[in-house]
Structure 1
Amino acid sequence: MSTEIQVKNPKTMAFILMLGAFIGLFGETALNMALSNVMEEFSVKAPTAQWLTTGYLLVLAILVPITALLMKWFSTRQLVIGGLVISLLGTILAGLSPNFVLLLMGRLVQALGTGLILPVMMTVVLLIFPVTKRGVVMGLMGLVITLAPALGPTLSGVIISSLGWHFIFWFSAIFYVLLTVFAVVKITNVSEITKPKIDILSILLSTIGFGGLIFALATMAEETFTAPIVWLPLLAGIIALILFGIRQMNMAQPMVNLRVFKYPMFTLGTFMMFLGILIILSSAILLPLYLKGALLFSAAVAGLLLLPGNAVNVIMSPIIGSLFDKKGPRTFVILGSITILIGNIIFVSVISATTPAWAIIGAFIVLFFGLSMVMMPSQTNGLNQLPRELYADGSAAMNTLNQVAGAAGTAIAISIFTAGQTGYLLDFPDASQREVLAAGVKTAFYFTTGISMLAVICSFFIKKPNEVKEKSLTMVKATEPVHR
Structure 2
Amino acid sequence: MEESIQLKNKLAIISAALLAAGGIMIETAMNVTFPVLKDVFNTSLNNIQWVTTAYLLAVTVTMTISSYLTKKYGVRKIWLSANLIFIIGTLVAGLSPSLSVLLAGRVLEGISAGLAMPLMFNLILTQIPQSKIGVWMGIGAMVVSLAPSFGPTYGGIFIESLGWRAIFFTLLIIPVASLVMGWSSIREKQRSKNLEPFDFWAFILLSVALISGILMINQLEGGSINIALLAITIVAFLAFIVVSIRSKRTFLNIRLFSSKSFTLLLIPVTLYMFANLGLGLLLPNYLESVTHTTSFLAGFSLLPGTLIGAVLSPVFGSLYDKIGSTKLLFIGNGIFAASLLCMALITHEMNFMTITLSYIVFTIGRSMAFSTSMTASVDGIPVSLQSDANAILQGTQMFMGAVGTTVAALFGSDQRGIEAGLQNFFWVLFVISILIFIMFVFRNEKKSEV
Structure 1 length normalisation: TM-score?
0.88
Stretch of structure 1 that moved more, 172-181 or 409-418? 409-418
Quick check: 1:316 aligned with 2:315?
A: no
Q: CA deviation at 1:98?
A: 2.4
Q: Which residue of 2 aligns with 1:445?
A: 426
Structure 1 residue 170 displacement after superposition: 1.3
| Equivalence for 1:468 | 447
CA distance in 1 between partners of 2:355 and 2:412 (Å) = 18
Tell me, yes or no, if the aligned pair for 2:336 and 2:362 is still in contact at 8 Å: yes
Alignment match, 1:219: 219
CA contact (8 A) 2:197 2:250 kept: no
Kindly tell me: are residues 233 and 183 of structure 1, through their superposed partners in 2, closer, same or farther at Cα, counting changes over 3 Å?
farther
| 1: CA distance, partners of 2:383 / 2:401 | 28
One-letter identity of the residue aligned with 1:145: V
Asked whether 1:205 is paired with 2:167, we answer no
The amino acid across from 1:134 in the alignment is: I
> How far apart are the structure 1 equivalents of 2:305 and 2:439?
24
Q: What residue in structure 2 maps to residue 110 of structure 1?
A: 109
- The structure with higher relative contact order (CA 8 Å, sep 6+) is 2
Matches within 5 A, 1:396-475: 396-418=391-413, 421-422=414-415, 424=416, 436-463=417-444, 468=447
**Superposed displacement of residue 3, structure 1:** 12
Worse-matched range after superposition: 399-408 or 329-338: 399-408
Distance (Å, rounded) in 2 between the aligned partners of 1:217 and 1:416: 12
Secondary structure of the structure 1 residue equivalent to 2:73: coil
Question: Is 1:85 aligned with 2:84?
Answer: yes
Alpha-carbon distance in structure 1 between the residues aligned to 2:104 and 2:425: 30
Distance 1:397 1:116 in 2: 13
2:291 matched to which residue of 1? 295
Between the aligned partners of 1:377 and 1:169, the Cα distance in structure 2 is: 32
In structure 2, what is the Cα distance between the partners aligned to 1:379 and 1:104? 30
Q: Which residue of 2 aligns with 1:375?
A: 370
Offset, 1:22: 0.8
Q: Contact 1:87/1:113 (CA < 8 Å) preserved in 2?
A: yes
Q: Who is 1:246 aligned against?
A: 242
CA distance in 1, matches of 2:120, 2:113: 10
Partner amino acid, structure 2, of 1:18 = A
Larger radius of gyration: 1
Question: For the residues of structure 2 that align with 1:3 and 1:77, how far apart are their CA atoms?
Answer: 25
Task: Describe the SS at the equivalent of 1:206.
Answer: helix
Give the deviation of 1:8 after TM superposition. Answer: 6.6
Range that drifts further, 334-343 or 196-205: 196-205
For residues 169 and 372 of structure 1, the distance between their equivalents in structure 2, rounded to whole angstroms, comes to 27
1:5-84 aligned at under 5 Å gives the runs 9-84=8-83
Aligned-partner SS, 2:236: helix
Partner deviation per Cα, 1:143-187 (whole Å, 9 max, x = no partner): 111221222212211221122111111122111122123322221
Structure 1 residue 27 displacement after superposition: 2.2
Residue 54 to residue 254, structure 1, CA distance change in 2 (3 Å): same
Distance in 2, matches of 1:207 and 1:323, equals: 37
CA contact (8 A) 2:45 2:409 kept: no
Q: CA deviation at 1:97?
A: 1.7
Deviation at 1:86, TM superposition (A): 0.4
Return 339-348 or 192-201, whichever deviates more.
192-201
Report the CA distance between 1:388 and its aligned residue: 0.3
1:162 counterpart SS class = coil
Deviation track 1:198-224 (CA, whole Å, cap 9, x = no partner) reads 22212211221112112222332x333
Query: Aligned partners of 1:357, 1:109: CA distance in 2, in Å?
Result: 34
Q: How far apart, CA to CA, are the structure 2 residues paired with 1:231 and 1:129?
A: 48
User: For residues 165 and 150 of structure 2, what CA distance do their matches in structure 1 show?
Assistant: 18
- Contact 2:213 2:233 (8 Å CA) reproduced: yes
Matches of 2:264 and 2:189 in 1, distance apart? 28
Conserved 8 A contact 1:137-1:321: yes
1:416 positional shift: 3.5
**Separation in 1 of the partners of 2:95 and 2:250?**
40
Structure 1 CA distance for aligned equivalents of residues 251 and 47 of structure 2: 33
* One-letter amino acid of the structure 1 residue matched with residue 418 of structure 2: L
For residues 462 and 188 of structure 1, what CA distance do their matches in structure 2 show?
38
Letter aligned with residue 180 of structure 1: L
Amino acid at match of 1:97: S
Q: Which moved more, 1:193-202 or 1:339-348?
A: 193-202
When residues 349 and 243 of structure 1 are mapped into structure 2, their CA distance, relative to the original with a 3 A threshold, is same
- Aligned alpha-carbon RMSD (Å): 2.2
| Contact 2:330 2:437 (C-alpha < 8 Å) held by counterparts | yes
| Contact 1:275/1:405 (<8 A) preserved | yes
Asked if the contact 1:22–1:145 (Cα under 8 Å) also holds between the matched residues in 2, the reply is yes
Does the aligned pair in 2 maintain the 1:76–1:191 contact within 8 Å? no
Partner of 1:138: 137
Amino acid of the residue matched to residue 468 of structure 1? K
Identical-residue share of aligned pairs (%): 28
Matched, 1:169 2:162: no
**2 CA distance for matches of 1:328 and 1:3?**
19
2:347 is equivalent to residue 351 of structure 1 = yes
Question: How many Å separate the matches in 1 of 2:412 and 2:92?
Answer: 33
State how far apart, in whole Å, the 2-side matches of 1:355 and 1:251 are: 53
SS in 1 for 2:328: helix
Residue 49 of structure 1 deviates from its aligned partner by: 1.4
Partners in 2 of 1:3 and 1:124 — Cα distance? 17
CA distance in 2, matches of 1:191, 1:85: 23
Q: Which residue of 2 aligns with 1:433?
A: none
Letter in 1 for 2:320: F
Q: For structure 1, which runs of at least 5 residues remain unmatched after alignment?
A: 425-435, 473-484
1:411-459 deviation line (CA, Å, top 9, x unaligned) = 22333343xx43x4xxxxxxxxxxx331221122111111111122223
The answer to whether 1:261 aligns with 2:257 is yes
1:330·1:462 contact (CA, 8 Å) conserved in 2?
Answer: no
